[in-house]
């Protein structure tokens, strides 16, 4: 019985509030730039259809036809057509990889979302995401 109850203990997690307390006092904090990995970029067409990451079925069976770019027959160069990167992937296959990172930055670290090219308060703490407009 003791063995079973030990399996139910929550894993030790760092005290993020305590870790970020001293860091929040640093007014020279460089910005954080979140760069999504292979599965992290969301691609959509101009009409709003989600192209990538697609469904779990597509990924499991390596069916990437919707994400394939057309090839220009004369130059043999890929033509992105109306495909646009629109942000980072939300939940996929029941897992959400990026939102917990953003939550910690905002709720515990005191960071705010910012957009490239937008003026910010030099004493603030900011993070940047591709194509994010707060």
Q: Break the chain into its structural domains and give their ranges.
A: 14-34+98-134, 41-90
Each residue's pLDDT tens digit in the chain (134 positions)?
Answer: 555 555 555 567 778 777 777 766 666 778 888 888 767 778 888 788 888 777 777 777 777 777 777 888 899 988 877 887 777 877 777 778 788 888 888 998 889 999 888 888 888 889 998 764 33
Q: Say if pTM beats, i.e. exceeds, 0.85.
A: no
How many other CB atoms are found less than 10 A from the CB of residue 89? Answer: 20
What single DSSP character describes residue 31?
P
d(Cα 70, Cα 52) in Å, to the nearest integer? 15
Joined tokens for residue 29: 């904090």
Biggest CA–CA distance in the chain, Å, is 71
CB-based burial label for 93 (10 Å; 0-12, 13-18, 19+): exposed
């Amino acid at each position: 019985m003791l063995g079973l109850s030990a399996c139910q203990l929550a894993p030790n997690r760092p005290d993020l509030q305590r870790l970020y307390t001293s860091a929040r006092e640093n007014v020279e904090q460089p910005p954080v730039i979140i760069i999504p990995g292979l599965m992290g970029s969301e691609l959509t067409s101009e009409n709003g259809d989600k192209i990538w990451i697609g469904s779990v079925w597509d990924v499991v069976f390596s069916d990437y036809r919707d994400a394939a770019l057309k090839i220009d027959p004369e130059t043999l160069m890929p033509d992105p057509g109306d495909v646009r990167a629109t942000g980072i992937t939300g939940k996929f296959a029941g897992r959400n990889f990026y939102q917990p990172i953003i939550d910690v930055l905002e709720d515990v670290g005191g960071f705010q979302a910012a957009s490239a090219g937008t003026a910010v308060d030099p004493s603030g703490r900011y993070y940047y995401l591709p194509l994010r407009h707060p």
